[in-house]
Structure 1
Amino acid sequence: MKIEDCFYIGYITKTKGLKGEVQVYFEYDEPADLKLDSVFAEINGKLVPFFISSCKLQNNQTGNFYFDDIDSIEKAEALVRKKLYLPNSLKPERDEDEFLITDLKGFIVHDEKAGELGEIIEIHEYPQQFVAVVPYKNKEIMFPLNDDLIIEIDDESGILHVDLPEGLIDLYLNA
């Protein structure tokens, strides 16, 4: 299984107890919608499957998990801070009228000061934020997709209006 074939759901925050239980923090919005029979942990750049023997979801975007073959605190400690993924085939279906930040890929970016920058060719998902990549004057400009910078999303015409911080574009052009 490759990372490109999966979607990120969260990471293991800590161990609990002595019998291998771990706590998972979900960065996926609706963890209750996920089919959690097994997960893939990113270890040394590879995805390693872990089968879930039991899990209990909490109301605060966390869950407590026991994995098959992880039966001691020592084995569980090796998994702390590991990112967890599920195959794209298990990604829950969403409503047609639901709009996600990743749907902005392909939108044309218009900055308040610089005007039209170009098309969003990539959206990177990092913990805590999404970052858009736009080719502009033979360079790639990156900026976070957050409420502070986004002025308007024109879904009809595929235009994203932003107000980028002073000097951000120059940082990329003068690099």
Structure 2
Amino acid sequence: MMHVDECFYIGYISKTRGLKGEVQLYFEFGDYESLDFDAVFLEIEKKLVPFFVDSFKIQANKTGYFFFEDVTNIDTAKSLLRRSVYMPKTKMPERDEDEFYTSDLVGYFVHDTHHGELGEIIAVNEYPQQDIAVVQYRFKELMFPINDDFIVKIDEDQHILHVDLPAGLVDVYDEG
């Protein structure tokens, strides 16, 4: 039995296609092109259920079309809609030690030059234009773009992101 803590999240089943059980997987994992899709795990009733991949075709828009073994009709495929999709951590793509993804910043504490400690990064939302850090700040979610203009230093040992945010950005969250 595979547990969620032994896996990493790659996306969810977003729609069905055709009548033969094909499903579309929407990827929320950044490096999806380098994954090895022999099997995936779908979260069904709080358990991870293995699905073996018969065939797949990756699309350019963060999606892929998949046929799973034993999913041979639209009714079975419909039962998989909106299910979260995972892969075992052992299938995580290898990356160079010096490679750093913005998603690695989740769990880091943010220290601003002017406001000091802001809080912990609880999420990194990836958008086509830029990535946005979400920080738990004074019972609110403070958001700022992750870009070289604001980042002073990334302390990987201490898990601290040192930033110099634009004047007024933090103040917006202090009001109200």
Amino acid in structure 1 at the alignment position of 2:81: V
Deviations 1:35-88 (CA, angstroms, capped at 9, x unpaired): 101111122322111111111112222111111111110110111111111011
What is residue 60 of structure 1 aligned with on the other side? 61
Change (3 A) 1:45 1:36: same
Aligned residues: 164
Change (3 A) 1:52 1:130: farther
What is residue 4 of structure 1 aligned with on the other side? 5
Matched residues in 2 for 1:21 and 1:46: separation? Answer: 22
Amino acid in structure 1 at the alignment position of 2:5: E
What is residue 84 of structure 1 aligned with on the other side? 85
What is residue 147 of structure 1 aligned with on the other side? 146
Matched residues in 2 for 1:78 and 1:103: separation? Answer: 33
Matched residues in 2 for 1:65 and 1:108: separation? Answer: 38
Equivalent positions of 1:1-175 (< 5 A) are 1-104=2-105, 107-111=108-112, 113-117=114-118, 120=120, 123-124=122-123, 131-133=134-136, 142-144=141-143, 146-147=145-146, 151-155=150-154, 158-161=160-163, 162=165, 164-168=169-173
Amino acid in structure 2 at the alignment position of 1:146: P
- 1:141–1:169 CA contact under 8 A, matched in 2: no
- Structure 1 unaligned regions, length at least 5: none
- 2:106–2:122 CA contact under 8 A, matched in 1: yes
- 2:11–2:27 CA contact under 8 A, matched in 1: yes
Matched residues in 2 for 1:35 and 1:51: separation? Answer: 12
- SS class of match (1:96): coil
How far residue 92 of structure 1 moved from its aligned partner, in angstroms, is 0.5
Deviations 1:135-166 (CA, angstroms, capped at 9, x unpaired): xxxx7765446338x82140258442145543
- 1:102–1:123 CA contact under 8 A, matched in 2: no
Identity %: 41
- 1:124–1:132 CA contact under 8 A, matched in 2: yes
- 2:11–2:85 CA contact under 8 A, matched in 1: yes
- 2:118–2:135 CA contact under 8 A, matched in 1: no
Matched residues in 2 for 1:62 and 1:130: separation? Answer: 24
Report the TM-score when normalising by structure 2.
Answer: 0.75
- 1:10–1:83 CA contact under 8 A, matched in 2: yes
Amino acid in structure 1 at the alignment position of 2:171: E
Matched residues in 1 for 2:55 and 2:106: separation? Answer: 37
Change (3 A) 1:107 1:59: closer
